[in-house]
Homo-oligomer: A and B are copies of this chain.
Amino acid sequence: MDISDTSLARWLPDWLQRCAENTPDHLAVKCGAVRWSFADLDQRANRLARQIATLGVQEGSRVALLATNGLPYVACVHALTRLGAILVPLNTRLTPQELCWQLQDVKAMLLLSDSRYASLADELQLPDIPHTTLIADVAGNVSLEAIPVAESECSLRSLIDLNATQVIMYTSGTTGHPKGVIITYGMQWWNAIGSALNLGHQPDDCWLACMPLFHIGGLSILMRSVIYNISVVLHERFEAEAINRAISEDGVTIISVVAVMLQRMLAALDADHKQYPTVLRCVLLGGGPAPRPLLEDCARRAIPVVQTYGLTESCSQAVTLSPADALRKLGSAGRPLPPVQLRIMRDQQPAQPGEEGVIYLKGPTITPGYAERPEATTQAFHDGWLSTGDMGYLDAEGYLYVLDRRSDLIISGGENVYPAEIEAILLAHPDVEEVGVCGRADVQWGQVPVAFIRQRTGSDVQAASLLAYAAERLARYKHPKAIYFVEHLPRNSAGKLVRRELIKLLPV
């Protein structure tokens, strides 16, 4: 007997609207000195949605957003939901060239920016993609520059379709060019529920967001806020002293960080001879393998660090260590969240406990694929399982240890840097014959990219000149920190670059 009516579990009452109905006066978001209740946020999202609608944005429209963490960002995310439009968050660290490529690739119909990025956005000058600026006044009202709020009531949605695309978020890969990961509302919902089942959910929770909202680790905090009906303390950027102050003064109970941030926070804490209050119940540590000394230091200080492993394709956390296991399984990323299935594959077979292999994921928090990249989607999935490309193993109790992110991925201060993208840029230089990029260990950033180059016969280019060439074309965090000239690059029998061999060529 199939009595399924899947439509029942497909449409949920709008999350923000429910928060505004249930707890209109509860703090939704604090940013700087401005505090918005859920009623404030709800009203501002509706108002902004009506303005955006006057620009022709409707269901399925792709709207790019170039902005720093702030109230305009938050209002815009929810305004687009009310219109059924798709958010394309742009990494503010990208070069104009990189931004233009993404805007065109995603076929954005509108580019929104905040005031800080207004001139950069104007500079892009894409004929088919108009730019409008989001203006915030001192009272925290957000509106579109020079666009009157429509008098007419355009129809705003009061239900969320879990199957609908909320976001297209670009992430690079082995192919050189970034791909747009489809993130549905359902992925956000299931991810938030999985996280709450693992970490617990307290109605008075307050989540500090200091990671960029254009990354999934930041954006998903905004979604958890409205799914859980809890407060967010939003920081424009990471600044260790300000974060520590907020933890002490704003009743923060959960914070998401990457290792380099946590290291700086601890250093600032020591400089002030302080410690964190006990209401801070979870320091969610993602964005790549954490140095063991850092974990041990936190354990000594009784800082409740919870390691997690996730990626854009899994809508942030996929595997998380439960607080109860934090010490017993120090160094592990934990176990898959309740809705997620995990397996390690080695030579097309499930690996045995302790055996290394590629991490595969499956479940309702995993992306259905890459926007307009059917081949990339087909490549990434095997029998419904996403191949993450990352290496790891499970211990006898099924806890995941991530050995390395995919061999070609460099994680620098929590940002993913893809060698193929840097290689493609350098290869375009007239004096470069071959190039291979890999990560070099770095005390401050975890890793930084460096490039190995074989020059064209007869050329005599200088490293400084190549570095300047890359710097013009790549976001700062992708700039190679060194160029090494070599006679030949390590390649396998098929002629394919073997990047892990590059690491062995690094000067000791």
Instruction: Knowing A9-B186, A162-B9, A200-B201 are in contact, say whether A369-B3 is a contact too (CB < 8 A).
Output: yes
* Chain B: minimal CB distance from A224 (Å): 11
Q: Interface stretch among A138-146, A335-343, A451-459, A487-495?
A: A335-343
Q: Which residue of B lies closest to A10 (CB)?
A: B6
Bound CA span A67–B440, Å = 65
CB pair A2 B203 closer than 8 Å: no
Give the Cβ gap from A313 to chain B, nearest Cβ, in Å: 13
Within 8 Å of chain B (Cβ to Cβ): is A317? no
Contact B3 A322 (CB under 8 A): no
The answer on a CB contact under 8 Å between B322 and A203 is: yes
Residue A331 interfacial (CB < 8 Å): no
- Is the CB of A264 closer than 8 A to any CB of chain B? no
Flag whether A73 is at the interface (Cβ < 8 A). no
Give every chain B residue within 8 A of A197 (Cβ-Cβ): 196, 201, 227-229
Answer whether residue A364 sits at the interface, using C-beta atoms and an 8 A cutoff: yes
Contact B22 A322 (CB under 8 A): yes
- A165-B22 Cα distance, complex, nearest whole Å: 32
Among B1, B165, B340, B364, which residue has its beta carbon within 8 angstroms of that of A3?
B165
B-contact bits for A159-198, CB 8 A (1 contact / 0 none): 0001101000000000000000010101000100100110
Which A residues from 1 to 48 make CB contacts under 8 A with B? 1-6, 8-10, 12-13, 15, 18, 21-23
| Interchain CB contact under 8 A, B201 and A196 | yes
Count the copies.
Answer: 2
Say whether A414 faces chain B, with CB atoms less than 8 Å apart: no
Chain B neighbourhood of A364, CB < 8 A? 8-9
Chain B residues, Cβ within 8 Å of A338: 12-13, 15, 18, 227
Known contacts A2-B163, A3-B182; is-contact A8 B366 (Cβ 8 Å): yes
Verify A3–B368 contact, CB threshold 8 A: yes
Given known A-B contacts A12-B339, A196-B201, A201-B196, A163 and B3 have beta carbons under 8 A apart: yes
Does A278 lie at the interface of the complex (its beta carbon under 8 Å from any beta carbon of B)? no
Write 8 A-B pairs (CB below 8 A) sorted by A numbering: A3-B163, A3-B165, A13-B338, A13-B340, A23-B324, A196-B196, A200-B200, A200-B203
Starting from the known contacts A2-B163, A9-B339, A196-B196, 7 additional A-B residue pairs (CB-CB under 8 Å) come to: A1-B60, A6-B10, A196-B201, A197-B227, A197-B229, A201-B201, A202-B202
Q: Please give me the 10 A-B residue pairs with the lowest Cβ-Cβ distance, nearest first.
A: A4-B163, A9-B364, A3-B368, A201-B201, A8-B364, A200-B202, A5-B368, A200-B203, A6-B6, A200-B201
List A residues at the B interface (Cβ < 8 Å): 1-6, 8-10, 12-13, 15, 18, 21-23, 60, 162-163, 165, 182, 184, 186, 190, 193, 196-197, 200-203, 227-229, 322-324, 335-336, 338-341, 362-364, 366, 368-369, 384, 398
